[in-house]
Amino acid sequence: QPLILLFPAICPPQSMASILPASNRSMRPDKNTYERKRSVYVKNPYLEGMDEDILYHLDLGTKTHNLPAMFGDVKFVCVGGSPNRMKAFAQFMHKELRLEGDGEDIEDICAGTDRYCMFKTGPVLSVSHGMGIPSISIMLHELIKLLHHAHCCDVTIIRIGTSGGIGIAPGSVVITDTAVDSFFKPRFEQVILDNVVTRSTELDKELANDLFNCSREIPNVPTLIGHTMCTYDFYEGQGRLDGALCSFSREKKLDYLKRAYRAGVRNIEMESTVFAAMCGLCGLRAAVVCVTLLDRLESDQINLSHDVLVEYQQRPQLLISNFIKKQLGLCDQMS
Ligand code: R2B
Ligand code: URA
């Protein structure tokens, strides 16, 4: 049985009162008190004994970088597949938070590697994760260790991405209540050595509801809460008829997707189960918010114009930036 380390951290009060979530205002510590807060856990007994931890794919390390100084104030982490989209989100957050400068020259903290990119705008970190479970999993191992080494606490992490919808209008935004696998089960199966370890994929329901309430203030973007199915493949794995390989009929495809719909699935993507499992185990409040690019009951190919695609991809970003501003108590002054 591996050792499980759970250290509730004692975090100092924030110097910037405004970065306390609005819902925590009544709990704001006075200058001399220390509060017990939710820290970021690692569950690995070997980490403590390591002289240095190199976060290889992020090109960061505990000896080469002062991680608490660089990241200690992070309260929101937004992750998404594409480096360009995460840069655009960081630039958008920069403007929304009214930080100094125009944000156009925002620096990629992981510029020393081309695996992932990372941008920091005040208390908001934007990180790319690539496509699929293996890619996001590697990034999350290193990101979670980074947040832990930096002594971050009360961190909310949100995946913003794209997906295929089932039975809903393209352009809808789905806030995931539960991430399910290809069998519609709320589980993530990790092969560890030669064992299959099953992990829960529950997400933070309160956070999902808060995000949904926030979405009501954004006009013309249909938003709903539903299950999200996570697959290991975009083509056969999502029941597409247009891949290089296809070994099932149109009828079988539609039967599968309709069964998914009846099981509560409203969209399909490729990272949510491992994201939910890892963030849940490590003490991060996590949410998944994806726009749908098509209705899979109608088609398989994504044939949106460039402009429509760009506008759709901005929808989760707009919702999350509004949510973050609200949490920081910045909405009234800014909108
Ligand atoms: C959504 O879009 C990508 C595939 O096109 C994948 O990363 C996902 O989850
Ligand atoms: N991303 C997916 O994983 N599937 C889709 O159908 C669209 C985007």
Q: Quick one: pLDDT band at residue 10, thresholds 50, 70, 90?
A: very low
Q: Please state which of the ranges 99-108, 224-233, 261-270 shows the lowest mean pLDDT.
A: 99-108
> For residues 286 and 15, which has the higher predicted lDDT (pLDDT)?
286
Of 53-62, 113-122, 277-286, 326-335, the least confident: 326-335
Query: How confident is the model over 55-81, as pLDDT tens digits?
Result: 999 999 999 999 999 999 999 999 999
Whether the pLDDT of residue 241 is over 80: the answer is yes
- Helix (H) / strand (E) element for 217: namely none
Write down the mean pLDDT value for the chain.
91
What CA–CA distance (Å, rounded) separates 200 from 298? 31
| 268 C-alpha to ligand 2 centroid (Å) | 6
What residues have CB less than 8 Å from 251, skipping those under 6 apart?
Answer: none
Rounded to whole angstroms, how far apart are CA atoms 16 and 1? 42
Which pLDDT score is estimated for 35? 55
Between CA 112 and CA 107 the distance in angstroms is 11
With a cut of 70, say whether residue 29 has pLDDT above it.
no
> How far is Cα 208 from Cα 321, in angstroms, rounded to an integer?
15
Q: In the chain, what percentage of residues exceed pLDDT 90?
A: 87
pTM for this prediction: 0.90
How far apart are the CA of 159 and the centre of ligand 1, in A? 12
Provide the pLDDT confidence category of residue 332 given band limits of 50, 70 and 90: low
CA 239–ligand 2 middle distance (angstroms): 11
Residue 277 reports pLDDT greater than 90: yes
**In which band, very low, low, confident or very high, does the pLDDT at 22 lie, cut at 50, 70 and 90?**
very low
Record the tokens describing residue 335, joined without a space: 């909108």
Q: Candidates 133, 166, 234, 309: which one to mutate for ligand 2, based on the most atoms within 8 Å of Cβ?
A: 234
pLDDT of residue 4 exceeding 80: no
Q: DSSP character for 222?
A: -
Reported as a pLDDT band with limits 50, 70 and 90, residue 20 is very low
Element (H, E) at 193: none
Predicted pLDDT at 37: 85
Backbone angles phi, psi at 66, to 5 degrees: -90, 85
CA distance 36 to 43: 19
Question: Which among 198, 205, 222, 186 has a CA at the least distance from the CA of 288?
Answer: 205
Whether residue 14 has pLDDT greater than 90? no
Eight-class DSSP state of 57: G
259 pairs with which residues across the strands? none
Say if CB 116 and CB 57 are below 8 A apart. yes
Which ligand has an atom closest to residue 270 CA? 1
Half-sphere exposure of 115 (CA within 13 A, CB side): 16
Residue 163 pLDDT class (50, 70, 90 cuts): very high
Pocket test for ligand 2, best of 160, 166, 270, 312 (most atoms within 8 A of CB): 270
Q: State residue 69's pLDDT score.
A: 98
Q: What is the 3-state secondary structure (H, E, C) of 167-192?
A: CCCCCCEEEEEEEECCCCCCEEEEEE
For residue 317, pLDDT over 70 is answered with yes
Closest ligand 1 atom, CA of 269? 9
The answer for 334, left when phi > 0, alpha when psi is -120 to 50, beta otherwise, is alpha
Tell the residue nearest (CA) to atom 8 of ligand 2: 163
pLDDT reported for residue 28: 41
d(CA 20, CA 28): 8
Distance 104 CA to ligand 1 centre (A): 26
- 128: closest CA among 176, 174, 88? 88
pLDDT of residue 334: 46
> Residues lining ligand 2, judged by CB closer than 6 Å?
162-164, 234, 238, 268-270, 293
The CA-atom distances, in angstroms, between 64 and each of 48, 52, 116, 117, 275 are 17, 9, 18, 18, 28
Assign 168 a pLDDT band (cuts: 50, 70, 90): very high
Share of the chain above pLDDT 70, in %: 88
Q: Which atom of ligand 1 is nearest to the CA of 131?
A: 7
Average pLDDT for residues 291-312, to the nearest whole number?
Answer: 98
Give the ligand whose atoms come closest to the C-alpha of residue 160: 1
- For ligand 1, pick from 138, 270, 272 the residue to mutate: most ligand atoms within 8 Å of CB: 270
Q: What is the chain's percent helix, strand, coil content, to nearest 5?
A: 35, 25, 40
Reference 175, options 320, 330, 24; nearest CA is 320
Quote the ligand 1 centre to 82 CA distance (angstroms).
9
Of the candidates 292, 141, 283, 171, the one whose C-alpha atom is nearest the C-alpha of residue 229 is: 292
Give residue ranges with CB within 6 A of ligand 1: 81, 131, 161-163, 234, 269-271
Residue 159: pLDDT above 70? yes
Distance in Å, CA 270 to ligand 2 centroid: 8
